[in-house]
Amino acid sequence: MVSAGDEVTEQGWDEPWYRVRTDRFEASFLPSASEDLDAVCNVDVEVRLAVDGSRWSATVFTLAEVERLMKKGSPTGEESGGRYFWCSDALIVRDPGIDKMAQALAGLLDAGDFTQVLQRLDDA
């Protein structure tokens, strides 16, 4: 279940995408084919809203993945020795997994924050 306002109508692989469709949106995630979908912690997603067909994108990271990436930068000197992390279209979530990430997207819609967080894609 995605949220109280969303019922998953279809979910599954449409190579290379893993798609989650609800009555309000279709989220197309791009995990590795061999990746455990319940453990995904860093993934690109494109979302198409049902209301107007607009397309939006984000890179979704878990808190643990951001911590891992920052630690990785510490010895290499990247990101000022791991002192910061940034990504222009980042959405940080607490829990790993495609289902949890879809729930976060539904929560953004519920809260009215969706268009403030995700990047709109130009269809032209």
In a domain, 97, yes or no: yes
Query: Is the confidence at residue 1, as pLDDT, over 60?
Result: no
In a domain, 15, yes or no: yes
Buried b (16+ CB within 10 A) or exposed e, 22-50: bebbbbbbebeeeeebeebbbbebbbbbe
d(CA 89, CA 51): 22
Query: Which domain, by its residues, includes 55?
Result: 10-60+89-121
Query: Is the confidence at residue 8, as pLDDT, over 80?
Result: no
In a domain, 20, yes or no: yes
In a domain, 75, yes or no: no
In a domain, 73, yes or no: no
Task: Count structural domains, the chain.
Answer: 1
Q: For a pLDDT cut of 70, what percent of the chain falls above it?
A: 90
In a domain, 79, yes or no: no
What average pLDDT does range 73-78 have in this prediction? Answer: 72
In a domain, 81, yes or no: no
In a domain, 16, yes or no: yes
